[in-house]
Amino acid sequence: MKAMAAKGPPGRVMRPNRADDAPADGETVTAPERMCVICRRRFPKAGLARYVAGASGMTFDEEKTMPGRGWYVCSDTECRKRFAKFRPGVRRKKGVLCHRKK
């Protein structure tokens, strides 16, 4: 991208409006993709369930807009069962549970 002459902080590159980045006629627009944390397959974001870690544990984020780290899970029943046991930040090392230091 080339720099545009516009008002702003010195040394900062001003970018064109997002409307300039819109696809031209005939180009396809792809939906955002996310990865299931269990099976590691990619799906359209709209087809996945999002969960967010909070003070009370994992919370289902129906509108996919809650702040915080979110995890996406696909609709496969096996993935849903395994996600019930999913504990972020806890790793297994040679059969022993280890907590990651923050």
Residue 64 belongs to domain with CATH number: 3.30.1230.10
Alpha-carbon gap, residue 72 to 36, rounded angstroms: 5
The answer to whether residue 44 is domain-embedded is: yes
The answer to whether residue 43 is domain-embedded is: yes
pLDDT of residue 28: 77
Which band of pLDDT confidence, cut at 50, 70 and 90, is reported for residue 35? very high
Does the structure show a pLDDT above 60 at 15?
A: no
Sequence-distant (6+) residues with CB within 8 A of 34 are 42, 43, 45, 48, 72
The answer to whether residue 76 is domain-embedded is: yes
How many structural domains comprise the chain? 1
Does the structure show a pLDDT above 70 at 20?
A: no
For residues 86, 90, 96, 102, the Cα torsion angle rounded to the nearest 10 degrees is 180
The range of the structural domain enclosing residue 80 comes to 31-87
What is the chain's Cα-based Rg? 20
What's the half-sphere exposure (Cβ side, CA atoms, 13 Å) at 24? 0
Q: What is the pTM of this model?
A: 0.61
Over range 16-34, report the average pLDDT. Answer: 71
The answer to whether residue 95 is domain-embedded is: no
